[in-house]
Amino acid sequence: MRECYTKAQTAMNKVADDLVVRVAAGMRATTAKQKEEYGPVILDLIENAAKSLEQSQISWQEYRDQYCNAIRFSYTTGSGSGTAWEECLYSVASARVQQLKKDFPGWADQNAHRAPKHSDANTVEK
């Protein structure tokens, strides 16, 4: 059972990490037309957003590890600590992926290379 959790949580954490990389890269991938259209102020804001997102992933990883270690260490006896820890890593990563998709819908799409329009912020994907 634990091996199953190990594979699942490892895969889910990779999805979260890859999604952050993809969103940040998408933010930075601007065409010449977009650069002209957006101007330096907007481009600086987009770069700041990409940097902040990357930094948030590092902070999130630290949070995830500390939180799930608390779960693991709370099992003072028995063999359930490893499974509980793996399950925690999976569920926390799954929640992170959902939050990233919700917060960065235009950027999180696999093939998106555009800044979301202002109206996109009011659209919630189901």
Domains of the chain in sequence order: 2-119 (1.20.1270)
Tell me how far apart the alpha carbons of residues 36 and 43 are, in angstroms, rounded to a whole number. 10
Rounded average pLDDT over 7-25: 93
The pLDDT of residue 48 is 95
The pLDDT of residue 118 is 41
Q: How confident is the model at residue 107 (pLDDT cuts 50, 70, 90)?
A: confident
Q: How confident is the model at residue 110 (pLDDT cuts 50, 70, 90)?
A: low
Using an 8 Å Cβ cutoff, are 53 and 20 in contact?
A: yes
Q: Which residue has the higher pLDDT, 27 or 108?
A: 27
Residue 13 reports pLDDT greater than 90? yes
